[in-house]
Amino acid sequence: MIAFGKFNTLTVSNIQGHEVIFDGGENGEIRLADKNLAESCRIGQQHPVFVFIDGNQQIQASLITPKAQVDEVAWLKVVSLSHAGAFLDWGLPKDLLVPFSEQKTKMVEGRYYLVRLFLDESNRIAASMLLEDFIQEQVYYLKEGQAVDLIIADETELGVKAIINHQYWGLLYKNEIFQPLEKGQKIPGFIKHVRPDNKVDLILTQDKYTQQVNSAATKILSALQKQAGYIALTDKSPPEQIYQNFGISKKIFKQAIGGLYKERKILIEANGIRLVEK
């Protein structure tokens, strides 16, 4: 099935002069919009192509990589205005529309805006400034210490809001930001803390202690897998015994097994820790 507004790997089924035709399966023939790139295609070749529906309701493919795909957030420049809305430069020849209904404030030509790409009721690609309609406040399937991709958004009294993996809101606190940040900037970061309400605190760099805990957790899991899923150590074991087995302090050991327990990867029993069977 074709995913509109995203990259799909399609096979060239026919070439007629400068017209390249891809096999779109149940969607039929899909023509290459970039006729100037036709020479790079051969019948039978597979190509990753960006698939979209044009203004004539025809399915088209492009070898050009746009600045964002559907379901992604991007920092894009308004290049023109019309009776339909504002048009953004997103890297393809035909500019991207932000309808008036999707504008939080009146957009100004020449300025950049943070927008999210979506498919309208006709499966055509459009963009929206109304990020709150798409980005979730509460996170799922993310854990503390996990590396994530961030897009910097607005400043708040507490710090700077950022979009996590194009899906969730997170917060970078002022006293933990040690570099200049600009709206729309893409930057790697980490999940610092998932609060009880499933909202997220972020951090741009992991401290050494967190790295040690994460490394210890990986080491403990590996040891459990090699030792039939059980190790006779707990958070009450002597520090010397813990160090002898893992080369880490008791404090780091306790933090590591505590995290693994919260993730339901281990059980903490009276005399040891046990790997949870999947």
Work out the mean pLDDT of the chain and round it to a whole number.
92
The pLDDT tens digits of the residues spanning 114-133 come to: 999 999 999 999 999 999 99
Q: Residue 3 — very low, low, confident or very high, per pLDDT cuts 50/70/90?
A: very high
- Predicted confidence at residue 240, as pLDDT, reads 93
The pLDDT tens digits of the residues spanning 131-148 come to: 999 999 999 888 878 899
Q: Is the pLDDT of residue 194 over 80?
A: yes
Q: At 269, which amino acid appears?
A: E
Q: Is the pLDDT of residue 164 over 90?
A: yes
Q: Domain 7-62, what fold?
A: OB fold (Dihydrolipoamide Acetyltransferase, E2P) (2.40.50)
CATH 2.40.50.140 applies to domain 73-132: yes
Q: Is the pLDDT of residue 98 over 70?
A: yes
Q: Is the pLDDT of residue 14 over 70?
A: yes
- On the CB side of 184, CA atoms within 13 Å amount to 12
75: tokens are 């920092």
Q: For 206, phi and psi rounded to 5 degrees?
A: -80, 140
- Predicted confidence at residue 168, as pLDDT, reads 97
Q: Residue 278 — very low, low, confident or very high, per pLDDT cuts 50/70/90?
A: low
Domain ranges, ordered by start, for the chain:
7-62, 73-132, 147-203, 215-275
* CATH code linked to domain 215-275: 1.10.10.10
Which CATH architecture group holds 147-203? Answer: Beta Barrel (2.40)
The pLDDT > 90 percentage for the chain reads 71
Closest CA to 138 of 181, 94, 169, 106: 169
- Predicted confidence at residue 202, as pLDDT, reads 92
Q: At 274, which amino acid appears?
A: R
> What is the pTM for the complete model shown?
0.74
